[in-house]
Structure 1
Amino acid sequence: TKHPFMKDTYESLIEDIAEVAGYLWNKGWAERNAGNISVNVTGYIPASLRDKPALCPQVKLPKAFVALSNQYLFVTGTGKRMRDVTHKPFDNASIIRINSGGDAYEIIAEQPIVPTSELPAHLSIHCWLKEHRSDCKVVLHTHPTDLIALSQTTKYKDEATLNALLWGMHPETLIVLPKGVGVVPYEVPGTMEIADLTLRALESHDVVIWEKHGCLAIGENIIDAFDMIDTLSFALMSSFLQMHYGYSLSHFKFECIY
């Protein structure tokens, strides 16, 4: 059964990606070239693109992502800005095709835009999703100011403490994110180390905070992935306002939600 927000056409998927890129910029979560998006579009890629010759030489990957063999992914480009993705997606992103061994990729559309430097982390996650969460096609990484600020504090680096705060601020947070969020200690962006830590966190969460760096969400579609991060940000901003005005945080009882 198709998810109610899952688009039926390749063109509609690209439109949604462009729309969310605009949201990220307008939210202030995409300074300069911050953040990246990847979507497994294999089930939606037009026949005209499937066997299209590569636009540039094949690029070797740091490891073989076997589950992604012969898969097609939309990936935003390195150094590209979300504010530009929203207006001209294919001036700032590309479609890549993973080879049959899963250890290399080639760009097939629409221009030879080099993928994000965090491609290894994205591919690791997509590989895991293909094997364990095949319903999820999207990996969204962005820089929500409030979530990054909170990740700087010792108290809220603790996952249980952080989730108690987020769930306790607004009933929608628990409804939208019943698994809460995972917390990944700081690692150098774009490395396999941060990818491996993220995969562990995704075993029990759909959203992960990268300490001092940003946030990553997986979803069936780009709108769902954005909405989860947006819901977290709303809850956190509510708590910041309470603390700013000197009010103590008063959390409701979870059993009152249903």
Structure 2
Amino acid sequence: MNNNFLNSKAVNEVADLTYTMWRMGWDEKNGGNISYILSDEEASQIEASASRFVELENIPENMIGKYILITASGSNFRLVKEDIIHTLGVIKVEKAGYSICWGFEEENRPTSEIYMHLLSHSARLKVDSTHRVVVHNHATEISEMTFVHPLTDKAFTRTLWGIITECIIVFPDGIGVLPWMVCGNEEIGQATAEKLADCRIVVWAHHGILATGNSLNDAFGLIETVNKAAKIYMNTFDKRITDGITTEQLKEVSAFFSIQPREEFL
């Protein structure tokens, strides 16, 4: 095992985030997954060694050649920090699949939702060249909200924008919402990627949330903001005496902070 990469900032940040999300109650047992596109400098810390190749069809063209640090299938986020060599690994994406070139010891493999990660990275890179991270977890209140709220992009986004002022500032591009789907297959990966062409956050009904960004902190911050607003909504939606932030007030905030929210959601 290459100790230079094992002790790298990228590995430590992913391991720390897995534990943080577990402590928040958002990644029970083996719930959730993270992937992080390594920079050329980060990838250069990995020493060349014999690798395992895994076939995978329909690899996005713009992902070929990328090195990705990703959590293992079945990994318990409570334990990742104590067992990095088994619960994290690096893959090199190739035309017909991927090679495991670091970590995933004892025949472990990336998350079963790897195809969703590849498609999500591909979609975001097409609209944002600085994109690097996909984070998926089971944030409690946002999952609760999918049981009591209409499951459309516009309705979900507008409700959360109206809860706390920072929402429209933090995610002016809104939220994509998918109905319940089987996790881990190509269908949910394709549907998620379609949503990510227009926004950085996707909610999976009765399952969880996925956020993307140019850093782990960026992506996780989006989830924190969305879930805080969802928590306030769940605690107040049946007892309100006000309607929350109005459309005109949202426009005032947008003008003051020079942001351009998706007009169709206002």
Q: TM-score, normalised by structure 2?
A: 0.85
Aligned residue number for residue 147 of structure 1: 142
What displacement does 1:206 show?
0.6
Is 1:67 the counterpart of 2:76? The answer is no
1:191-232 CA-partner distances (Å, limit 9, x unpaired): 111111111111111100011111011100111100001001
- The 8 Å contact of residues 124 and 196 in structure 2, kept in 1 or not, is answered as no
SS of 2:115's partner is helix
1:123-174 CA-partner distances (Å, limit 9, x unpaired): 1122233433221100111001111111123x42122221121001101111
Aligned residue number for residue 32 of structure 2: 35
- The 8 Å contact of residues 150 and 156 in structure 1, kept in 2 or not, is answered as no
CA 156–90 in structure 1, closer or farther in 2 if over 3 Å, else same = farther
Aligned residue number for residue 120 of structure 1: 115
1:65-93 CA-partner distances (Å, limit 9, x unpaired): 32222211111000101111244333311
Aligned residue number for residue 103 of structure 1: 96
Aligned residue number for residue 192 of structure 2: 198
CA 64–236 in structure 1, closer or farther in 2 if over 3 Å, else same = closer
Is 1:178 the counterpart of 2:172? The answer is yes
What displacement does 1:256 show?
4.4
What displacement does 1:25 show?
0.6
SS of 1:108's partner is strand
Aligned residue number for residue 232 of structure 1: 226
Structure 2 CA distance, aligned partners of 1:229 and 1:33? 19
What displacement does 1:50 show?
5.6
SS of 1:233's partner is helix
Aligned residue number for residue 162 of structure 2: 168
Supply the RMSD in Å over aligned alpha carbons. Answer: 2.0
Q: TM-score, normalised by structure 1?
A: 0.87
**Amino acid aligned to 1:74:** L
Structure 2 CA distance, aligned partners of 1:232 and 1:111? 32
Which one of 215, 232, 251 corresponds to residue 255 of structure 1?
A: 251
Structure 1 CA distance, aligned partners of 2:45 and 2:145? 46
- The 8 Å contact of residues 71 and 97 in structure 1, kept in 2 or not, is answered as yes
**Amino acid aligned to 1:138:** V
**Amino acid aligned to 1:49:** I
- The 8 Å contact of residues 121 and 132 in structure 2, kept in 1 or not, is answered as yes
Which one of 9, 16, 40 corresponds to residue 13 of structure 2?
A: 16
Structure 2 CA distance, aligned partners of 1:238 and 1:43? 41
Structure 1 CA distance, aligned partners of 2:20 and 2:174? 23
CA 115–249 in structure 1, closer or farther in 2 if over 3 Å, else same = farther
- The 8 Å contact of residues 120 and 189 in structure 2, kept in 1 or not, is answered as yes
SS of 2:79's partner is helix
Count of aligned pairs between the two proteins: 244
Structure 2 CA distance, aligned partners of 1:42 and 1:95? 12
SS of 1:53's partner is coil
Aligned residue number for residue 41 of structure 2: 44
CA 169–220 in structure 1, closer or farther in 2 if over 3 Å, else same = same
- The 8 Å contact of residues 59 and 106 in structure 1, kept in 2 or not, is answered as yes
- The 8 Å contact of residues 76 and 94 in structure 1, kept in 2 or not, is answered as yes
**Amino acid aligned to 1:236:** A
